[in-house]
Amino acid sequence: MIKYSVLYPNIKNGTFDHAYYRDVHLPLIKSRMGAFCHSYAIDKIPGNAPADAPFIAACHIYCKSMEDFEQGMKDNAADFVADVANFTNIEPVKMIFEVVI
């Protein structure tokens, strides 16, 4: 299994609409990727976190294989990227991991 993580740094004047991310953006990804997306998770920094926390939000998309991830993204990535302006002005950090446990 692989995990594609998108992390949003905590930057000065950064904006992030958690409700849109939860209710629109990630469901859009799941519906477009279909069976190629096994599941996803969203992380939100708690309101009482230190002001200097390195990230304010993240998502993790789980796929059974790298091939599934690539297939699910193939015709959809441009639409996913275009939707980002609807919820943030932060340039994310993206990483792909192999899930070991």
Rounded Cα gap, residues 91 and 89, in angstroms: 7
Q: What is the pLDDT of residue 40?
A: 97
The pLDDT tens digits for 50-84 are 888 999 999 999 999 999 999 999 999 999 999 99
CA angle 7, 8, 12 (to 5 degrees): 155
| pLDDT tens digits, 12-55 | 999 999 999 999 999 999 999 999 999 999 999 988 888 889 99
Q: DSSP characters for 30-42? A: HHHHGGG--EEEE
Closest CA to 77 of 17, 20, 19, 36: 36
pTM score above 0.85:
yes
Domains and CATH numbers, the chain: 2-98 (3.30.70.100)
